[in-house]
Structure 1
Amino acid sequence: MALYKKILVAVDGSDEAKKAFNKAVNIAKKNEATLMITNVIDSRSFAMVEAYDRTLGERAEAQANELIDVYVEEAKKAGVTKVIKNVAYGSPRVKIPKDIAKEFEADLLVCGATGLSAVERFLIGSVSESIVRFAPCSVLVVR
Structure 2
Amino acid sequence: MNSIDYKNILVAVDGSEEAEWALKKAIYLAKLSDATLVLAHIVDTRNFPTIEAYDMTIRDHSETFANELLEKYKTEAIASGIANVKTEVAYGSPKVQIPRDLAKKHTIDLIVCGATGLNAVERFLIGSVSEGIVRHSTCDVIVVRTNIDKK
State the TM-score bracket (shorter-chain normalisation). over 0.9
Q: Cα 1:50–1:114, aligned 2, differ >3 Å: closer, same or farther?
A: farther
Q: CA RMSD for the aligned pairs?
A: 1.3
Q: What corresponds to 2:39 in structure 1?
A: 37
TM alignment of 1:99-110, pairs within 5 A: 99-110=101-112
Superposed CA offset, 1:75-94 (max 9, x none): 00000000000000001111
Q: Cα 1:74–1:92, aligned 2, differ >3 Å: closer, same or farther?
A: same
Tell me the matched-pair count.
143
3-state SS in 1 of match to 2:56 = coil
Structure 2 gap ranges (5+): 146-151
3-state SS in 1 of match to 2:89 = strand
3-state SS in 2 of match to 1:116 = coil
What is the TM-score when the length of structure 2 is the normalising length?
0.91
Superposed CA offset, 1:62-120 (max 9, x none): 11000000000000000000000000000111111111111111010000011111110
| Distance in structure 1 (CA, Å) of the matches to 2:16 and 2:92 | 19
How far apart are residue 49 of structure 1 and its match?
8.6
Structure 1 gap ranges (5+): none
| Distance in structure 1 (CA, Å) of the matches to 2:88 and 2:105 | 11
| Distance in structure 2 (CA, Å) of the matches to 1:17 and 1:49 | 30
Q: In the alignment, residue 130 of structure 2 is paired with which amino acid?
A: S
| Structure 1 position 87 matched with structure 2 position 89 | yes
Q: What corresponds to 2:19 in structure 1?
A: 17
Question: Structure 1 segments of 4 or more deviating over 6 A?
Answer: none
Q: In the alignment, residue 73 of structure 1 is paired with which amino acid?
A: T
What is the TM-score when the length of structure 1 is the normalising length?
0.95
Q: In the alignment, residue 71 of structure 1 is paired with which amino acid?
A: Y
| Distance in structure 1 (CA, Å) of the matches to 2:107 and 2:121 | 31
| Distance in structure 2 (CA, Å) of the matches to 1:54 and 1:66 | 18
